[in-house]
Amino acid sequence: MSDGLRSRYDAMVASGHVHSDPAQIWAITELAVRQDYLNATADKRSGLFGFFTRQETEAPRGLYIWGGVGSGKSMLMDMFFATTDITRKRRVHFHSFMQEIHEALHRERKAGIADPLTPVANSIAASARLLCLDELQITDITDAMLVGRLFEALLAQGVTLIITSNRPPDDLYLNGLNRQLFLPFIGLIKERLQVHRLISDTDYRQNQLRGQQTYFHPNDKKALEAIN
């Protein structure tokens, strides 16, 4: 297991910022598996050597963590993101991410690109081997019809997806218009990502972390000191 992630969680427990939580520890264990893989195949291994090294090491599935508001999902994602030692990574709220996707698709269409999703997905994959999407929620039919192809393209290019949501995959876009067309995306999530329900008796938004910063960026010395 990656010592950096677990040691920072243990430090927060020791300082009283959070309570030791079996569900969170399980999630940290799974996040650490992804972190170890990403660190072992880091950006510094470039060129053909890096390509073949990554091919020889089987990539673990991404992770979809869901649970109620205040269960600590975003906190764990922030800790994972801050302690993953690669440069090509990004952490973003899902709603903001989709706004960016629509803007990028619009630019590609204006440029006359017949299939604008391909260059958009290529651009994301080129800039981020790790993509952390916080609070995934689908309420718009346009997003519902788009995310399947987008995620499939990102996964095909080896992007590791870490997702948090308040809903289990089967409840995404529930009762939405033309939902049957969205169901393959749910299947993709369940097949390509490990799904974990985070249950906690503590509301970390209202309790231990009240008034404290929980998202630290950029990933530098000051950020790591703040987590400690």
Q: Pick the closest to residue 23 from 81, 70, 86, 78 (CA basis).
A: 70
DSSP state of 179: G
Judge: domain 3-227, CATH 3.40.50.300: yes
DSSP state of 177: T
Residue 212 buriedness (CB in 10 A; 0-12 / 13-18 / 19+): exposed
Taking the complete model, does pTM exceed 0.75, yes or no?
A: yes
| Mean pLDDT per 10-residue segment, the chain (228 residues) | 83 91 93 95 55 60 94 95 96 98 98 96 97 97 96 97 98 96 98 93 55 53 53
Q: What is the pLDDT of residue 163?
A: 99
- Rounded distance between C-alpha atoms, residue 99 and residue 97, angstroms: 5
